[in-house]
Amino acid sequence: MAAEFLLHGKGRRRGQSRHPWVFRDQVEAGAASAGAIVRVVDEARRQLGWAAYSPQSKIALRFIVFGAAAECPTAASLKAAFLAALERRRALRERSDALRLVSSEADGLPGLIADQYGEAVVLQALTPFAEALLPDVVAWLEEALQPRSILARNDAAVRRLEGLPLEVKHLAGAVLPEVEIREGGLRFTVDLLQGQKTGMFLDQRANRLRFGEVVRAGDRVLDAFAYSGGFALHAAARASAVLALDDSQRAVDLAGRNVALNGLCNVTLEKGNSFQRLRALIRDKEMFDAVVLDPPAFAKTQSELEGALRGYREINVRALRLLRPGGLLATSSCSYQMPEPLFEEVLRGAASDVGRDVLVIERRGQDADHPVLLSLPESRYLKCFFLRVG
Ligand SMILES: C[S@@+](CC[C@H](N)C(=O)[O-])C[C@H]1O[C@@H](n2cnc3c(N)ncnc32)[C@H](O)[C@@H]1O
């Protein structure tokens, strides 16, 4: 029989509003083993739903299904959720053969990430529940997609918060250290074993493709946080020259390989700290027609938010200073601690600092394979503005 967890006040309201996260201090009583599926009830013992239990994380319970009538999830119902997630992404395959197949709570599988890179699939289990599910996920993947290789990139630091070890494990098929994928008309090498995230920032795909469309022939473009060159390469198809920066040598090397793979000769890559490099470019009176800012999350926790706001403002001020009149700034924040109105406020502050009129031409977010669960505001984490500078 499944363990029962009793929620009080705030926890109950979370369950009723279908927010999947229940914090430890919102639990009145309950005990279970790590990763167990438990029945969640309110003070009157009315069922709120079924959730996965994490004994070490601040988030003690993550709902899998909600409501009084919901039945305890089974291997069959979890497989159905997995297959439904794959089905929802069918249309995206036209744009790329690299896509997120499963996105955790938003696909009803708390803590499970599955990213496909061509013939390889990379899994990430960010909760004990997802960790326990991995053997089943491998079997479902083999049945549904027959990937050549399945890898677990369980080296994400957040696993520590769940008491899970950091490790990279080959789970099935061939050992592939890297694969080639396509995105729009471009080819990218993905470093499966040591690349950032699970290998690529798949969430920015639509923004990269769109950026490639709005860059004008002959533009001079700056990509200040380039990683494997995503935005830079899409821009390079039209631009006259692209400068791509990253402070990771590994990222710069990977971007260099991608430039060569696509036969581009108008991209200059530099390893360096963009905060300093942008200041130097301003000092040298360099100007650009388009700038991309896609920095890492400056705020991972609420306590880091103050400093993050300063960081975002500063980097956006510098980018705005580097733009010619009529120039384009594509600027992102992937901190879920920073909701879109707050990010917009930062951009307003940056525009005011440089004393220029700035038009919002597109307000964008994460691509559709990273769905937003309306009841989980934290799942809308990527904000991306395309701005036209006066
Ligand atoms: C969110 S990723 C960029 C992803 C990229 N735009 C893409 O679409 O693939 C952020 C990148 O910024 C780099 N980075 C972090 N801090 C930096 C800094 N101070 N200066 C330059 N690059 C930095 C990281 O190495 C990482 O590659």
Give DSSP secondary structure letters for 234-303.
Answer: HHHTT-SEEEEEES-HHHHHHHHHHHHHTT--SEEEEES-HHHHHHHHHHTT--EEEEEE----S-SSGG
Ligand 1 centre to CA of 224 (Å) is 7
Q: Which of 209, 233, 247, 276 to mutate to test the pocket of ligand 1 (most atoms within 8 A of CB)?
A: 247
pLDDT at 200: 98
d(CA 377, CA 4): 27
pLDDT at 346: 97
In this structure, the residue with its CA closest to atom 27 of ligand 1 is 227
Sheet holding 112-117, edge to edge: 98-103, 112-117, 120-125, 149-154, 167-173
Tens digits of per-residue pLDDT, 95-126?
A: 999 999 999 999 999 999 999 999 999 999 99
pLDDT at 304: 86
Inter-residue contact 16 to 43 (CB < 8 Å): no
Looking at the CA of residue 251, tell me the nearest atom of ligand 1. Answer: 27
196-206: average pLDDT:
98
- Structure-model confidence comparison of residues 32 and 299, the more confident one: 32
pLDDT at 336: 87
Q: Domain ranges for the chain, please list them.
A: 4-66, 75-176, 201-389
Ligand 1 centre to CA of 226 (Å) is 6
Tokens 């080819």 belong to residue: 187
Class of domain 75-176 (CATH, top level): alpha beta
Residue ranges around ligand 1 (CB below 6 Å)? 196, 201, 204, 208, 225, 227-228, 230-231, 245-248, 251, 273-275, 294-296
Ligand 1 centre to CA of 227 (Å) is 5
- Residues serving a catalytic function are 334
Query: Which amino acid, one-letter code, is at 233?
Result: L
Ligand 1 centre to CA of 252 (Å) is 10
Domain 201-389 has CATH 3.30.420.40: no
Enter the pTM of the model. 0.96
Q: Which fold has domain 4-66?
A: 2.30.130
Would you say the CATH fold of 201-389 matches that of 4-66? no
Tens digits of per-residue pLDDT, 30-76?
A: 999 999 999 999 999 999 999 999 999 999 999 999 999 999 999 99
Q: Which of 233, 246, 269 to mutate to test the pocket of ligand 1 (most atoms within 8 A of CB)?
A: 246
Ligand 1 centre to CA of 220 (Å) is 20
d(CA 13, CA 16): 5
Inter-residue contact 182 to 94 (CB < 8 Å): no
In this structure, the residue with its CA closest to atom 17 of ligand 1 is 247
In this structure, the residue with its CA closest to atom 4 of ligand 1 is 227
Q: How many residues does the chain have?
A: 390
pLDDT at 365: 98
d(CA 347, CA 249): 29
Q: How sure is the predictor about 17, in pLDDT bands with cuts at 50, 70 and 90? A: very high
Q: What residues pair up with 149 in beta bridges, in sequence order? A: 120, 173
Residue 1 has pLDDT above 90, yes or no: no
Tens digits of per-residue pLDDT, 225-279?
A: 999 999 999 999 999 999 999 999 999 999 999 999 999 999 999 999 999 999 9
Q: How sure is the predictor about 302, in pLDDT bands with cuts at 50, 70 and 90? A: confident
